[in-house]
Amino acid sequence: MITRKSSREIEMMDEAGTLLANCHKEIAKRIKPGVTTKEIDDFVEDYLAKHGATPEQKGYNGYEFATCASINDEICHGFPRDEKLVEGDIVTIDMVVNLNGGLADSAWTYVVGEADEKTQRLLDVTKTSLYKGIEQAKEGSRIGDIGHAIQKYAEAEGYAVVRDFTGHGIGPTIHEEPHIPHFGLPNKGLRLKEGMVITIEPMINEGTWKSQMDSNNWTARTVDGSRSAQYEHTIVITKEGPRILTDQD
Ligand code: MF3
Ligand code: CO
C-alpha cells in the first residue's frame, strides 16, 4: 500500500531529517585514516541518544547495527567493524533516524584522507545523479522519470547503476511501497502524488552494475571488485516540487 503523509507526519519526518543531516556533518569531521566504522557506528548511536532519537536500522530484520558502513567495493549494507580505514578508502555511511516516530533515511559517501581525481569524479557523478533524480520527484511525474534521469546521466559519464537495490517509500517503517529504481524508462510507472515520501539513493559503480551477496547475507559488493559510491536523501513530493528532508546545507 502506498500512503500519503499528513502535514503533521511530514513535520515529524522533517525533524528526524534535520537531526540525520547534522549527524552526517559530525561524521564528516570524524572520518580519517585509523578510525574504524565500529567507532563511527558507536558515535552515531550516542549522538542520536543525546538528541532523543533511535537508530531505526538496529534490529530491523535482525540487522545488528545503527549504521551500514560500506567500504570500497561494498555496495550497501556493509557491517561496521574494527578494521581501520586507510588513506584513499571510500566509505558510505547509511542510516535511518527515528525521532518521536518520524523517520528519515540518508546515506553519504566519504573519502578517507585526500581524494584523488578518479575518486573525486566517482563521488561527484554519484551525488549529481542523486540530484538529477530528485529534480524529477514532483507531483505528476512518474517513477520511471526518476530512474531514467539517474541512469542516463551516470552511464553517459561512464559508470554503471546498481539494479538490485532501489529507493523506497518510507514511514512509518523503513521500507514501504513503492520501489524507486535508479534506472528505467521515462513516462513509465506509477505517478507521484503530493504527500508521498520516498528515498532516492543511487549506488553507482566504476565497473559493472552487477552485485553479489556476501556470506553474511546482508552485504552486497561489486562482482568485479570495482568501487561503488552512494548518496541518499529522503524526499517529500509536493505540488511545488521536491522537498528534501535530509538536506545538509
Ligand atoms: N538505509 C537503508 C536503505 O536505504 C536501509 C538498510 S536496512 C538495514 O534502504 F537493515 F540494513 F539497515
Ligand atoms: Co533508504
Distance (Å, whole) CA 247 – CA 235: 9
Beta strands in 100-169 (DSSP E): 102-111, 160-161, 167-169
Closest CA to 182 of 216, 144, 219, 212: 144
Closest CA to 104 of 34, 11, 195: 11
Q: Which ligand is nearest to the CA of 95?
A: 1
- What pLDDT was estimated at residue 231? 99
Ligand 1 touching residue 234 (CB < 6 A): no
Alpha-carbon torsion angle 216, 69, 126, 4, nearest 10:
90
Question: What value does the mean pLDDT take over residues 77-99?
Answer: 98
Going from the Cα of 66 to the center of ligand 1, the distance in angstroms, rounded, reads 10
Confidence of residue 22 (pLDDT cuts 50, 70, 90): very high
Distance (Å, whole) CA 59 – CA 164: 22
Ligand 1 touching residue 97 (CB < 6 A): no
**pLDDT digit string, tens, across residues 110-164:** 999 999 999 999 999 999 999 999 999 999 999 999 999 999 999 999 999 999 9
Give SS3 for 210. Answer: coil
pTM metric for this prediction: 0.98
Nearest residue (by CA) to ligand 1, atom 7, is 57
Ligand 1 touching residue 56 (CB < 6 A): no
Domain positions in the chain: 7-244
Give SS3 for 167. Answer: strand
Cell triple for 64 = 545488528
* 117 Rama class: left (phi>0) / alpha (psi -120 to 50) / beta: alpha
Ligand 1 touching residue 174 (CB < 6 A): yes
**Exposure letters 88-107 (e unless 16+ CB within 10 A, then b):** ebbbbbbbbbbbeebbbbbb
The CATH number for 7-244, chosen from 3.90.230.10, 3.30.830.10, 3.30.70.270, 3.40.50.280, is 3.90.230.10
Going from the Cα of 118 to the center of ligand 2, the distance in angstroms, rounded, reads 26
The half-sphere exposure of 128 on its side-chain side, counting CA atoms within 13 A, is 13
Ligand 1 touching residue 94 (CB < 6 A): yes
- What pLDDT was estimated at residue 154? 99
**pLDDT digit string, tens, across residues 31-47:** 999 999 999 999 999 99
- What pLDDT was estimated at residue 195? 98
Kindly state the percentage of the chain with pLDDT values over 70: 100
CA 182 to chain centre: 12
62 CB neighbour count, 10 Å cutoff:
7
Nearest residue (by CA) to ligand 1, atom 11, is 77
